[in-house]
Structure 1
Amino acid sequence: MKDPAPRRRSRPSEGDTREQVLATLLKLGPVTANDLGSRLGLSAAGVRRHLDILVEEGTAETVDRRPSGRGRPAKHFRLTDSGRAQFGHDYDTLANSALDALREAGGPEAVRRFARQHVEKVVEGIAPAADESEEALEETARQLAEALNEHGYAVTVGRAGRSIQLCKHHCPVASVAAEHSELCEAEQEVIAARLGHHVQPLASITDGHGICTTNIPLTPTNYSERSTS
């Protein structure tokens, strides 16, 4: 015999109920608290409490929608980008599949060309270093770091002996680059082109290191220019 009320077997926890609220918001889009409560079998006060917490966390937001007839705009709730992100994504698989298809259609050179265009777009607007002096190289390195950070990387600029180092602590395309090394190669090429100077990749997240390090060696000329300035 079918159980007429399976929900009564166990009382859901606060976390479980909030997950149900999130999932229902994802499916229904903008919805009122009353409609949401009816769907989930929750009281109006109960569902509003969960919605208030989600709004405070930034995973949900309110929007006013005017009813079809006369009346005051009704408050509806919907997920924010942060709320939708709670359900995950499969962008990496999609990106890898797209690059695989590009390689099959145009060969490795087509992937390299795409990778370079991608990195060029990230650093768009950054002028090449004025010269190969220490000051010019470090200033351009910091501009490159800022541009990368704006696109989801976590890059710092520091010194190591007679070198400037760009250290990438997070790479948003690491899993894709692990399958398509052209992305890393293009990044090094573009950085070197903006600096007008030789660079050395010392470590890579895709190789199992916890950080990507691009070394910018400073020649004796760089130091002599600084000491005489």
Structure 2
Amino acid sequence: MVRVTSPGAARTGGERSDADLRTRTRVHAAVAELGPVPATRIAALLGLSGPAVRRHLDAMVAEGVLEAREPRAAQRRGRGRPAREFVVSSAGHDSLAAGYDDLALAALTYLAQVQGPQAVAAFAEQRFAALEARLSDAVPAGASTAERVEALAAALAAQGFSASARPVGSGTGAEGTQLCQGHCPVRRVAEAFPELCEAERRAFERVLGTRVQRLATLAHGDHVCTTHVPHGPPQRAPQDQAPQRGPHQTPLAVTTAGNQTPTEGRRL
């Protein structure tokens, strides 16, 4: 179970009992692990009553910690309004314990120092292999590029990511679809190790069967990760190209506390 420090708990700790705060933390953690997930499943897994779970869910949605979504069409059954599913919002992800980021930064820094940058790149590729397999199953092989990007965005959203797709460039000669991701669970680590962003981009290329271009990333300080997918015949990208590095990026080193200082060995 993920350990969670809820921002709402810090603001209203004096108004809630310790038991109430522990329950809220458990509900938040369950959504972080299982989202999108309905309230009934959380209640069953945690051994809580439905009203108690919904009270915490509604409170966290109101505070922006969670987001409530309608279930996918394929999951709607029976009569009546379908049960909402809950995912952790970007603000909610930021409230998750940061110790994992510090540990990941320290581990990857050590790996780069001992084995070299190629070991970090290999780790990044392996990390996205499992996600790539799940995404590939959700993207139809015979569909158009635009339909495939829409399916990829839906699959990412189903995994708990904030993802959407939108058409761009209609009538300008640069038609395509942009895949937008409003949250990155490894943003702090990716700031120091762009191999993670590059591995994700390459996974998207393999899932979509065409070349894609990263226009912006949260790790670079942008408000959203934006990936442009051009329409037209598939364009395969070379599989051995190095991570794309922006002109504004400077060499960095990462300490075990997550602080960054100039050095020659680590590049963004």
TM-score normalised to structure 2 length = 0.49
Q: Give the match for residue 16 of structure 2.
A: 18
The CA deviation string for residues 138-186 of structure 1, in whole angstroms up to 9 with x for no partner, is 2332332233224432110110010111011111111111111101000
Cα distance 1:172–1:24, how it changes in 2: closer, same or farther (>3 A)? closer
- 3-state DSSP class of the match of 1:164? strand
Q: Distance in 1 between matches of 2:52 and 2:212?
A: 49
Counterpart contact for 1:164–1:217, Cα < 8 Å: yes
Q: Distance in 1 between matches of 2:225 and 2:54?
A: 37
The CA deviation string for residues 187-212 of structure 1, in whole angstroms up to 9 with x for no partner, is 11111122221111111111111011
Q: How many residues align?
A: 156
Counterpart contact for 2:146–2:176, Cα < 8 Å: no
Q: Give the match for residue 115 of structure 1.
A: 124
After superposition, residues 19-58 of structure 1 pair within 5 angstroms as 20-21=18-19, 56-57=55-56
1:164 aligns with 2:177: yes
1:102 aligns with 2:108: no
Q: Give the match for residue 150 of structure 2.
A: 142
- 3-state DSSP class of the match of 1:152? coil
Counterpart contact for 2:13–2:21, Cα < 8 Å: no
Q: Give the match for residue 192 of structure 1.
A: 205
1:176 aligns with 2:189: yes
Ranges of 4+ aligned residues in structure 1 off by more than 3 Å: 19-25, 52-56, 85-89, 127-131
Q: Which amino acid is 2:220 matched to?
A: D
Counterpart contact for 2:111–2:120, Cα < 8 Å: yes
Unaligned runs of 5+ in 2: 1-11, 24-50, 58-87, 89-93, 170-174, 235-268
Q: Give the match for residue 215 of structure 1.
A: 228
Structure with greater Cα Rg: 1
Counterpart contact for 1:129–1:137, Cα < 8 Å: no
Return the offset for 1:129: 6.4
Q: Which amino acid is 1:182 matched to?
A: E
TM-score normalised to structure 1 length = 0.56
Return the offset for 1:107: 1.4
Cα distance 1:17–1:119, how it changes in 2: closer, same or farther (>3 A)? same
Q: Distance in 1 between matches of 2:149 and 2:95?
A: 35
